[in-house]
Structure 1
Amino acid sequence: MRSNILPLAATLVGLLGASGTVASRCKPPPTPTPTVLLRAGTVIGAADHGVEYFRGIPYAQPPTGSLRLKPPVRLQKFNNGSVQATGLGPACPQSTAVDITPLLLEVLSLPEAADTLFFGSATGDVTEDCLTISVMRPKGTKAYAKLPVLFWIYGGGFEAGSPQMYNGSVLIPESVAQGKPMILVSVNYRLGAFGFLGGKEVLADGAANLGLLDQRLGLEWVADNIAAFGGDPDAVTIWGQSAGAVSVFDQLALFDGNNKYKGRPLFRGAIMNSGSITPTEPVDGVKAQGIFDTVLEAAGCAASGANAAKLECLRAVDFETFYNASNSVPGYLTDNSLAFSYSPRPDGRILTASPEVLAQTGKYAAVPTIIGNQENEGTVFALFQSNITTEADLISYLHAVFFRNATREEVASLVATYPANPDSPAGVGASDSTYPEFKRLAAILGDWEYTFMARLLLESFPSKVPAWAYESTYASGTPILGTYHSTDIPRLYYKTDPVSTAIQDLYISFVNSLDPNKYKRGTPSSGYLTHWPRWQEKKQSLELGANSTRLIDVNTRAASYEYIRANLETLRL
């Protein structure tokens, strides 16, 4: 059964609000009224519990009408000379598709899952005119205070998500308590067909990877404006989760690693949570072309004639028509899962090659980096299939949905490297609650998109560039899911228990010093942490457990990793 994600998301937001973990912090009161003067005009914000919020500041002209499916255009002046940045800000148009399976419904009854599974979904104003940026800073920060900046890129499969649910109500006060105050910035970027439509027509028009260009323009906005908010444009760390983490690597690799603007680097560090490199076909490849053709047909533009005319037709249709056309292809919360309909793809200019090639050839800005995953990344994405009961069924599914460039025999060889009932999630055996191939599919999806790609990227890092790796296991007791994709987000943004505070302190230390180990000692959280050596020192990850941390070797499923690494060219999306 396929349904609309927004009612589910609204229900979950209601749950969060009832528990007092999120909703109580989302709308700061209107007074006092901090203001910041920029070249574009005056930004009027709000303050709450030691944090000043400036949310929904436009950084580009509205990408509507003739600017739809075009690279973002820098905004020079605010309308009427000022912006009321006191609410949550808008969200970009979202994917609405979700397959409601019995297994998903069972998982939604779990308290932990209800709090996180659709976390970050848009809850307020959703509009095509969405290219805005939000700035959050410690209360009383003065202009040109030169605080370090953490630049957040949200996840959501390049189809959903917004900055609305991510704020600095915990991170910023914790940074102040650590004596390392910082500024948090969050950027909106176009999603779905609005931001990641492919096809030969898109390539010829120079309209590929628009969502990445939105993010890059947001970084340029920070370079031009963050000093007025008290931030240091030379001390920016880019941070993302899931599709946001994939975007972080893409920002490292944009233009073959050129991250400079006006002669200065746009960022000096990077954090990737549950995502890094995704092997993909070109923007004019078979899969992307099929998506374009489907969207074109759904928008009523298939008979438009020449390539340029097809795009002009898509720009001319009304918003509702294009929005529905964008959602006419499978979503990432459906049986399609991580075989994204929309994704950054090589276009020869913005991304010159598939991301794993750029990583292996060193064509990226190599900056100090934190990178890691949840132990059971794939379980969430295996919730949306229910009829995979045999190994042959699993091979057919992977071949038809994910690895169409590979032969069936090659997919079968990949599956053969996984036991029939892998210990993933750890300690969760096969049961009537799942389907027979659930755990093996979960292991393959989590490895291919997350765990193995992080390992591949770590192995590409030059020895002189520090990197730190982690793996989270703190929710290993969660039924069916284990420590699943997105369990880290509430711990980073809203929880204040010792585990959450410890992880926050690692990140705050990194943002300030490019070393996660320089957190304040003698606090309850510091008793949880052990020293975190660079990846290059021991080739080990920091395991973030429920009660303590330890160093672990990163060699899980070595045969599967070697097979995927050796066959990346045929295993691209």
Structure 2
Amino acid sequence: MYSFLLLPALLATAALALPAEDRAVHAQIDARAAAPSVTIKNGTVVGSTTGSVDSFSGIPFALPPTGTLRLKPPQSRTSAFPGGTFIATASAASCPQFYSQVDQPGLANLPSDVLGEVLNTPLYQEVTNVNEDCLQITVQRPAGISPDAKLPVLFWIYGGGFEFGSSNTYDGSKIIQKSVDLDQPIIYVSVNYRVGGFGFLAGDDLAEEGSTNLGLRDQRLGLHWVQDNIASFGGDPSKVTIWGESAGAISVFDHTVINGGDNTYNGKPLFRAGIMNSGSIVAANNVTTPKAQTIYDTVVENAGCSGSTDKLACLRAAPYQTFLRAANSVPAIFGYRSLDLSYLPRPDPGNNFFSQSPEISVQNGQFAKVPVIIGDQKDEGTLFGLSQTNITTNDELIEYLTTYFPQAPNARKLVTGLVNKYPNQPLIGQPYGSPFDTGSLNNIYPQYKRLAAILGDITFTLTRRSYLNGITSQGVQAWSFLATYLQGTPVLGTFHASDILFADYGTLGEGVPFITTATYYISFVNNLNPNAISTAAPLINWPQWSNSSTNKPQLVEMKALSNGLLKDTFRTPAYNYIAGRPSSFRV
């Protein structure tokens, strides 16, 4: 179950394999300098050049969120760099990570507990460049670009279940090179944001102070930084597309509803389009509900702050290692609780930043109406169903899922109705569970494929369809896809985050999936239309998604060696059940 934790290391290793030769570049691009430098509001930033890409890594965009600023909204860095210059050649630091729960009760969890202990040691964090002072941003561009090029900007927000992830595991070089080859050059920006208890701790105390959803606030401040500084790198602040995967995709959606849908900064839009890979609406209960408060109380207790008259002050004063262990003492995403996340964006009615459950914002039209691309991997839920091997009966499955929705009226009846939409018997030839279209194969325990199908649908795939229905009915242009390039992979199928490896960044090669994704996305970033550059093979014309075209193919099916079209009508009974109760499935 923990093999997925190797993904950041695998990505970091693969990112070193950059092309050595120079290629033809767009006419706007000048001969590159040995050490590229850019002057921004805080001084001069000096980067590096590899191949035909300039990189400026780890630029601080906020004050260190440490000490009294721990668990506080980020504050812009307004002072000049010491000496007026920042050397941006080292990788950005990772924010404190939450891979695995520590201090789990019971010997049955011993392997998980040991892993949690290792991942939280100072040595591991030092080796992996983890630092609480992590609010840094990275800019990559075609080498030697003219300062007045005004290239469109692709702003990346990483995933990791709001519990782990870092900008330094993603290298935009291949995407940039592809954009140059297509004569549609772009600038790539990736932002760090606080995750786990450092970024998404909730509860009464934080709500009263207005210090909620800090990770989202970090991302938002990064977007402000882009508006203030990207023109100096040759970018156009009026042509920003925000892009994310998993928690990053959910964050992209959240930025469309933050501040009641007002996405402006100094009177100008922060972004003009969005791309969401595996994620959109996550209906959630408020920051002060019992579920959120229990997480907060657990962290407070394990930090030794339960007896303090000012618990937040105690948490802020706690040694870094003490607070890290406490924040990571709650259930983690790759544990038994899976997608019943301990940390995630939760509505805070006490301020306008993220004030209501996001499905309400879409229903009320309170969102930034920008064109979007959104899609899923075919088997989104398989990774998240590997740990629940004790769930072997229909009743046990219902009981498990009921605990995901503690605020729902008659939650057991709600979940029973949902579970009944997914056949219980592994009939040959029947797509009853995930990995889909594999009949009775891959069912590693009696309820595995069924649980994987449900988790994937309610968190990603069918929620995507509901989101598309909501926004396109209000005039938003949208394109959607389903990736199936790992069809036949045992147990996992085309699993969640496989697009990071096979498509988005070309990490495992620049085959059809990478060519497809990169070309469509680069076209969208430049032209707000994925079809503007080319529809030649392996690409095809990508139809807009429309809620009035359900009987027509409107999904691009991204396959291993080609692309096709699909109707977005699979699992209709389950979709109708979920879409008809949008606020019932709040986590």
Q: One fold, TM greater than 0.5? A: yes
Aligned twin of 1:478: 489
State the one-letter code of the partner of 1:493: Y
Aligned twin of 1:66: 68
Equivalent residue runs for 1:22-33 within 5 Å:
22-25=15-18, 32-33=34-35
1:519 corresponds, among 533, 549, 573, to: 533
State the one-letter code of the partner of 2:555: S
State the one-letter code of the partner of 1:379: T
Aligned twin of 1:446: 456
1:92 corresponds, among 71, 81, 95, to: 95
Q: Deviations over 1:77-120 (max 9, x none)?
A: 223322221122100000030799x9xx9xxxxxxxxxxxxxxx
SS of 1:511's equivalent in the other structure is helix
CA distance in 1, matches of 2:230, 2:183: 20
CA distance in 2, matches of 1:260, 1:16: 33
State the one-letter code of the partner of 2:396: D
CA distance in 1, matches of 2:436, 2:576: 22
CA distance in 1, matches of 2:55, 2:101: 32
- 373-382 vs 531-540, which deviates more? 531-540
User: Among the aligned pairs, what percent are the same residue?
Assistant: 47
Could you say if the C-alpha distance between residues 423 and 297 of structure 1 is closer, same or farther in structure 2, counting changes exceeding 3 Å? Answer: closer
CA distance in 2, matches of 1:14, 1:293: 33
Q: Confirm or deny that 1:226 pairs with 2:247.
A: no
Q: Deviations over 1:476-519 (max 9, x none)?
A: 12111111101111211123113311221000000000000012
CA distance in 2, matches of 1:403, 1:26: 51
Q: How far did 1:558 drift?
A: 1.4
Q: Confirm or deny that 1:507 pairs with 2:521.
A: yes
CA distance in 2, matches of 1:353, 1:310: 26
Alpha carbons 1:26, 1:165 under 8 Å: kept: no
Could you say if the C-alpha distance between residues 57 and 451 of structure 1 is closer, same or farther in structure 2, counting changes exceeding 3 Å? Answer: same
Alpha carbons 2:11, 2:170 under 8 Å: kept: no
SS of 1:97's equivalent in the other structure is coil
Could you say if the C-alpha distance between residues 274 and 27 of structure 1 is closer, same or farther in structure 2, counting changes exceeding 3 Å? Answer: farther
Aligned twin of 1:366: 369
Aligned twin of 1:548: 562
Q: Deviations over 1:288-336 (max 9, x none)?
A: 111111111011111112xxx1111111111111111110100111111
SS of 1:136's equivalent in the other structure is strand
CA distance in 1, matches of 2:357, 2:524: 29
Q: CA RMSD in A?
A: 2.5
Equivalent residue runs for 1:345-364 within 5 Å:
345-348=346-349, 349-364=352-367
SS of 1:527's equivalent in the other structure is coil
Q: How far did 1:14 drift?
A: 6.4
Aligned twin of 2:577: 563
Q: Confirm or deny that 1:337 pairs with 2:338.
A: yes
Q: How far did 1:385 drift?
A: 1.6
CA distance in 2, matches of 1:143, 1:151: 19
Aligned twin of 2:122: none
CA distance in 1, matches of 2:265, 2:252: 17
Q: Confirm or deny that 1:493 pairs with 2:479.
A: no
Aligned twin of 1:532: 542
Q: How far did 1:427 drift?
A: 3.5
2:194 corresponds, among 166, 190, 198, to: 190
Aligned twin of 2:446: 436
CA distance in 2, matches of 1:373, 1:14: 23
State the one-letter code of the partner of 2:455: L
Q: How far did 1:401 drift?
A: 4.1
Aligned twin of 1:114: none
Alpha carbons 1:26, 1:167 under 8 Å: kept: no
Aligned twin of 2:85: 82
Could you say if the C-alpha distance between residues 454 and 304 of structure 1 is closer, same or farther in structure 2, counting changes exceeding 3 Å? Answer: same
Equivalent residue runs for 1:281-296 within 5 Å:
281-296=285-300
Aligned twin of 2:46: 44
Alpha carbons 1:428, 1:480 under 8 Å: kept: no
CA distance in 1, matches of 2:162, 2:312: 21
Could you say if the C-alpha distance between residues 251 and 122 of structure 1 is closer, same or farther in structure 2, counting changes exceeding 3 Å? Answer: farther
SS of 1:24's equivalent in the other structure is coil
CA distance in 2, matches of 1:432, 1:443: 13
Q: Deviations over 1:106-163 (max 9, x none)?
A: xxxxxxxxxxxxxxx9973101100000000001112121000000000000000001
Aligned twin of 1:117: none
Equivalent residue runs for 1:137-148 within 5 Å:
137-148=141-152
Alpha carbons 1:403, 1:411 under 8 Å: kept: no
Q: Deviations over 1:443-492 (max 9, x none)?
A: 10000000121111101114532110111111112111111101111211
CA distance in 1, matches of 2:569, 2:93: 43
CA distance in 1, matches of 2:517, 2:282: 26
Q: How far did 1:424 drift?
A: 2.6
State the one-letter code of the partner of 2:497: S
State the one-letter code of the partner of 1:166: Y
SS of 1:270's equivalent in the other structure is strand
State the one-letter code of the partner of 1:558: T
Q: Deviations over 1:64-86 (max 9, x none)?
A: 11111111100012233222211
Q: How far did 1:395 drift?
A: 0.9
Aligned twin of 2:276: 272
CA distance in 2, matches of 1:270, 1:398: 31
Could you say if the C-alpha distance between residues 13 and 163 of structure 1 is closer, same or farther in structure 2, counting changes exceeding 3 Å? Answer: closer
Q: How many aligned residue pairs are there?
A: 539
1:199 corresponds, among 203, 206, 221, to: 203
Q: How far did 1:13 drift?
A: 6.2
Q: How far did 1:355 drift?
A: 0.9
CA distance in 2, matches of 1:173, 1:23: 15
CA distance in 2, matches of 1:456, 1:377: 16
Could you say if the C-alpha distance between residues 449 and 180 of structure 1 is closer, same or farther in structure 2, counting changes exceeding 3 Å? Answer: same
State the one-letter code of the partner of 2:571: R
Equivalent residue runs for 1:73-222 within 5 Å:
73-76=75-78, 77-97=80-100, 124-222=128-226
Structure 2 unpaired stretches of 5+: 22-32, 112-124, 427-431
- 493-502 vs 57-66, which deviates more? 493-502
Alpha carbons 2:101, 2:331 under 8 Å: kept: no
Alpha carbons 1:64, 1:128 under 8 Å: kept: yes
SS of 2:38's equivalent in the other structure is strand
Alpha carbons 2:486, 2:493 under 8 Å: kept: yes
Could you say if the C-alpha distance between residues 542 and 428 of structure 1 is closer, same or farther in structure 2, counting changes exceeding 3 Å? Answer: same
Alpha carbons 1:27, 1:87 under 8 Å: kept: no
Q: Confirm or deny that 1:243 pairs with 2:244.
A: no
Q: Deviations over 1:540-562 (max 9, x none)?
A: 21111223222221122111112
CA distance in 2, matches of 1:508, 1:15: 25
Alpha carbons 1:122, 1:162 under 8 Å: kept: no
State the one-letter code of the partner of 2:49: A
State the one-letter code of the partner of 1:446: G
Alpha carbons 2:9, 2:169 under 8 Å: kept: no
Q: Deviations over 1:420-456 (max 9, x none)?
A: 1414323334457611100000010000000121111
SS of 1:370's equivalent in the other structure is strand
Q: How far did 1:58 drift?
A: 0.2
State the one-letter code of the partner of 1:64: T
Aligned twin of 1:112: none
Alpha carbons 2:359, 2:583 under 8 Å: kept: no
Alpha carbons 1:143, 1:230 under 8 Å: kept: yes
Q: Confirm or deny that 1:53 pairs with 2:55.
A: yes
SS of 1:518's equivalent in the other structure is coil
